Chains A and B, each alone.
Chain A
Amino acid sequence: MESTSYYKKAYFIYDKESQELVDFVVENKFATTITAVFIKDFIENVEKFTADLNHAVVSLSQESIPEFLAIAYKYDFSIGILPLLSQKEQIKNLLLSSNMETNLEIALRDDAKRIDLVRLDDKLVYSQAIVGDIPLVSEKMRKVNHSPLTNFMYALKKFFTLKLQKFDITTKNGQHISTAGSAIVVLNHTTKGFLSKVFNLEQSMRDGKITLVIISPASLLDYVQLFSSLLFVSKSTKTLPESIGYLQSESFLIKASSSKKVRFDNGDKAPLPAEFIIIPEALAINASEKFWELNQKQSSQKETIKIANLPDKSETEKYVEKRIPFFRFASEERFKDLFLVLRQDAKLNKIYIVLMLLSTFLAAFGLFADSTAVIIGAMLVAPLMTPIVSLAMGLLRAEQGMIKDSVWKIFVGVFLALLASSFLAYLLPYSETTLEMNARVNPTLLDLGIAILSGIAAAYTKSFKEISQNLAGVAIAVALVPPLAVAGIGLGYSDFNMFFGAFLLFFTNLVGIVLAAVLTFQVLGFSNVVKSKKGFAFVFILLVIVSFPLYFSYDHMIERYKVAKMLKEHRFIVNNKYIIVKDAEVFFGRETRVIDLKLSVRESLNRKDLEDLREDIQRLFDKKLFITTELEYIL
């Protein structure tokens, strides 16, 4: 078994905080003779101390470490870092233990191994350097001597004004990469820092390479998504996040279009353009076994370039110096595919006419037969949704041709539906309104809510091929043709109240879907702004106009519900006869309210009892009532 050997002589470099460790280190049990020197004295007399310095144990603050590394590199002595237990970041970096005795043992071992260092001019990058902004994430974004709230507001402002800038990067092998991003992080190693929480990058401090990570979010939402893992305790993934690309090379020359400086993790700054160069095997350090397992020596000359997620040269010009949108732009490919489909959908064709007629007849028969199943079948056959979604895209992109085509297609569909259903109503020997018809003549604000949600679902489903099978569900939710069929039946019956009620429902659906679909397409990145502002404003005004009757209808619905509920809780005692209200329905006339009651009694009610009952019920209301009753007797 190989025995562990320890340095015979070593210096212990300490600062004010670690002064308490002097006795502990000097009186070590590894037979190492320690000369303890205060850091200030050491730096002032560095030449003197380094003359016979072979190994130093250092216990310094995180900020002082890079400076000491530079000295160790310059004077070529090995170091063992002995952090205080409160310096958790250093313990984590070197994968040390929380036991001081163990850490001292590691620091005094005579088996230091060499690691690479990253150099920018005369400065060393200990863990990372940043070009650009990483708001809400990077601690260096904070303003010194400001309250946490001020810092947060500053970071928030930076977040909302985040822009992509152009980065030109040249590698050691002469590969030139031109891309756009919000920031570049130059890494010596990744065990520390926020990026290690976002994704697991395989990198060694002994591979002779610098790693350069480019952060390029396509939207603020992507940015939030990227760093949301920082808020939660989660394992970093090996999959490269969508907004990130990375390069590995022996050196990088970085040019940025707007950033003027690069920031080091100890607060130092250096001007751009900057060339980062790896210094292989620059410094000998003592570390734990686990640390060396993760940082094994590698000698490949191959450069790594993973930039598939980043904007290419042509896209870079488009995005640079512009604020990042809140939502991501749809890709050219996705946009083209959808646009072609929607343009085709906007055009009137024979299939549309046939399906429109079929669905209307189906819906009308279903309505006459009071069959929900048949009506749902008609909803599935109905082709009206497609031109409505096309109209939404037309309005968003100000495509006059698409708008005209889809409006014409909708108009023809509506006309055919009304014509077909009114003709059927005229022909059939029925003249009664079924429950399914009645359900479609009193639209309320709830229907507008359904229409808006359906519009969102329709636009969303259309935007993604992989979920297009869900369109059937959307069609059922929206139910465009049945209200049209009811409106047509109303025309056939010459019942204009029925026609207006049902047509209002259809129109509510139409307007709600168009508006919601426009906004959904915008959110999904098919256009940054609504380009046809006039068209959009027109639809919006229609929505406001439609909302008034819907509001009153909704208000009536709520009042109907309340009155019915109140009556159902009531019992009446009329001439010592106890009357139970089993059910109550309320209808609104122009000046009266019609109340239809189902009563339960033990004894028969005579005309006087009924008159007294009417008076008692009337006293509960301000408006004049017309009351009808249905009696059932308790035996």
Chain B
Amino acid sequence: MRVFLLVLVGLLFFTSCDNTHTIVKNGKTVQIGILVPLSGKNKRFSKQSLAGLNAARDMQTYLKDGTEIQFIILDTKSDLSEARKMFYALKKQKVKAIISLMGSDMMLAMHSIFQENHIPIIVTLATDNQIVNLSDTISQVCFTNKTQALVAAHYLRDEKLLSNAAIIYDRSNHYSYALAKEFKKYYQSIGGKVDFYLSINTPKELNKFKNQKNITSDALYITSNVITTLDIIKMMKKVSPRLKYISGDGLLSSTKALDKVDASILDGVYVTEHYASNGKKDKKIRDLEKLLHKEGYDESSYAFLAYDSYLLLQSALNQCKNLKNQCINNSLRNSMIIHGSSGNFNIRHGEAQRRVFVDKIENMKLYKEIVTY
């Protein structure tokens, strides 16, 4: 009898300690569309993002009620008409929401389609400020260009006390152009002097810049594509060793996607980012990293943002038992606080309220300098 009571008490103790919820599968599925440029010019970061999404799904496949989340992944081929076609294909399949892994230019071009079709869209990587304002079905998981430019400008001016900056961007790249423009605006508004504001997107322009040899600025803000950025930093480190470099999000992740690169070029470069490599990581993030490694990917802002997008989606779906579009959209655009890849974040009026890190790159890792909330 005594043994029985002891076993009973033990069982009660253990069951009371178990705070994990056991999900009972109900056999139902919910279809989620993924629009991703797996080929074409924007394919570079897509594989990392998709790996992040798949890892997140592997970690939590089911909603609280036991419904399975299923992905329908379609390749937009980095092409607008293809993206439109794929969007309608997803609509046909009655997906409950779409996670977009496309860039800002594509998102801006498709905003009216999204608005007309009332399918909730989660924007993972596109940082343009206008995306959220142009459609009330869009929720942006990443921070905006405006925010990261503001942080970069203040970091250089108020924390590094650098009063002269040069800006290099690529006018053919919407992200690069928009971010550089925001930075220029903020940096000048707080008393910073912009020595030059230069677009480089052709080999001729690059050669012309290389011949210039030396610049007297304290810092160089550069938003060009990864190959041009690496080329310019490599050259400038030789001629202006005291120059500080700062760039936008995704520079390191894009560099990791390149086949061959001299990792030391980026040492000492500051970036505004969604995460930092150092600091404590909770178990979920460690598990996510393990899954990414298993698939051959390293930590990256693209993968982490995709993971955050999935968590946001799951949270919204869990709140809407009927899985109606309107409910899902409302839950996405004004979300609960979600514990994401780099701390808590939430969505307010479609816009992400999340941390902006200023990191320093060393040995292809991001080391936190400051974090802005």
Which residues of B, 323-356, contact A by the 8 Å Cβ criterion? Answer: 337, 344, 356
Closest to A617 in B: B373
Q: Per-position contact with B for A451-467: 1 when CB-CB < 8 Å, else 0?
A: 00000000000000000
B373 lies within 8 A of A620 (CB): yes
Instruction: Classify chain B: how many residues form its interface, as a range.
Output: 10 to 19
Tell me the complex Cα distance, A576–B337, Å. Answer: 21
Q: Does A610 contact B (CB under 8 A)?
A: no
A570 lies within 8 A of B158 (CB): no
Residue from B190, B337, B344, B372 within 8 A of A571 (CB atoms): B372
Known A602-B190, A616-B373; judge A573-B159 contact (CB<8 A). Answer: no
Instruction: Point out the residues of chain A lying under 8 angstroms from B154, CB to CB.
Output: 571, 578, 580, 602
Instruction: Point out the residues of chain A lying under 8 angstroms from B368, CB to CB.
Output: 569
Known A573-B150, A578-B151, A619-B337; judge A602-B371 contact (CB<8 A). Answer: no
Q: Does A600 contact B (CB under 8 A)?
A: yes
Closest to B155 in A: A571
B344 lies within 8 A of A619 (CB): yes
A571 lies within 8 A of B371 (CB): yes
Tell me the complex Cα distance, A42–B212, Å. Answer: 99
Residue from A572, A580, A616, A619 within 8 A of B158 (CB atoms): A580
How many Å from the CB of A622 to the closest CB on chain B? 11
Instruction: Please give the number of chain A residues whose Cβ is less than 8 angstroms from any Cβ of chain B in the complex.
Output: 14
Tell me the complex Cα distance, A77–B141, Å. Answer: 103
How many Å from the CB of A156 to the closest CB on chain B? 42
Tell me the complex Cα distance, A340–B158, Å. Answer: 68
Residue from A578, A580, A600, A619 whose CB has the most chain B CB atoms within 10 Å: A578
Q: Does B254 contact A (CB under 8 A)?
A: no
Instruction: Point out the residues of chain B lying under 8 angstroms from A144, CB to CB.
Output: none
Q: Does B370 contact A (CB under 8 A)?
A: yes
Q: Does A1 contact B (CB under 8 A)?
A: no
Q: Does A634 contact B (CB under 8 A)?
A: yes
B373 lies within 8 A of A571 (CB): yes
How many Å from the CB of A80 to the closest CB on chain B? 69
Tell me the complex Cα distance, A634–B160, Å. Answer: 13
How many Å from the CB of A633 to the closest CB on chain B? 11
Instruction: Point out the residues of chain A lying under 8 angstroms from B190, CB to CB.
Output: 602
Closest to B356 in A: A573
A571 lies within 8 A of B370 (CB): yes
How many Å from the CB of A210 to the closest CB on chain B? 70
Q: Per-position contact with B for A436-461: 1 when CB-CB < 8 Å, else 0?
A: 00000000000000000000000000
Residue from B159, B344, B371 within 8 A of A570 (CB atoms): B371
B150 lies within 8 A of A576 (CB): yes
A570 lies within 8 A of B150 (CB): no
Tell me the complex Cα distance, A123–B194, Å. Answer: 102
Instruction: Point out the residues of chain B lying under 8 angstroms from A569, CB to CB.
Output: 368, 370-371
Closest to A603 in B: B190
Tell me the complex Cα distance, A92–B356, Å. Answer: 74
Instruction: Point out the residues of chain B lying under 8 angstroms from A571, CB to CB.
Output: 151, 154, 370-373
Instruction: Point out the residues of chain B lying under 8 angstroms from A634, CB to CB.
Output: 158
Which residues of A, 554-596, contact B by the 8 Å Cβ criterion? Answer: 569-573, 576, 578, 580
Instruction: Point out the residues of chain A lying under 8 angstroms from B356, CB to CB.
Output: 573
Which residues of B, 121-164, contact A by the 8 Å Cβ criterion? Answer: 147, 150-151, 154, 158-159
A573 lies within 8 A of B373 (CB): yes
Tell me the complex Cα distance, A602–B368, Å. Answer: 23
Instruction: List the 9 shortest-distance A-B pairs measured between CB atoms, nearest first.
Output: A578-B154, A571-B372, A616-B373, A571-B370, A572-B373, A634-B158, A602-B190, A570-B371, A569-B371
25 A-B contact pairs sorted by A residue (CB < 8 Å): A569-B368, A569-B370, A570-B370, A570-B372, A570-B373, A571-B370, A571-B371, A571-B372, A572-B372, A573-B147, A573-B150, A573-B356, A573-B372, A578-B151, A578-B154, A578-B158, A580-B154, A580-B159, A600-B158, A602-B190, A616-B373, A619-B337, A619-B344, A619-B373, A634-B158
Which A residues are closer than 8 A to B by beta carbons?
569-573, 576, 578, 580, 600, 602, 616, 619-620, 634
16 new A-B contacts at CB < 8 Å, known A580-B154, A619-B344, A619-B373: A569-B371, A570-B373, A571-B151, A571-B154, A571-B371, A571-B372, A571-B373, A572-B373, A573-B150, A576-B150, A578-B154, A600-B158, A602-B158, A616-B373, A620-B373, A634-B158
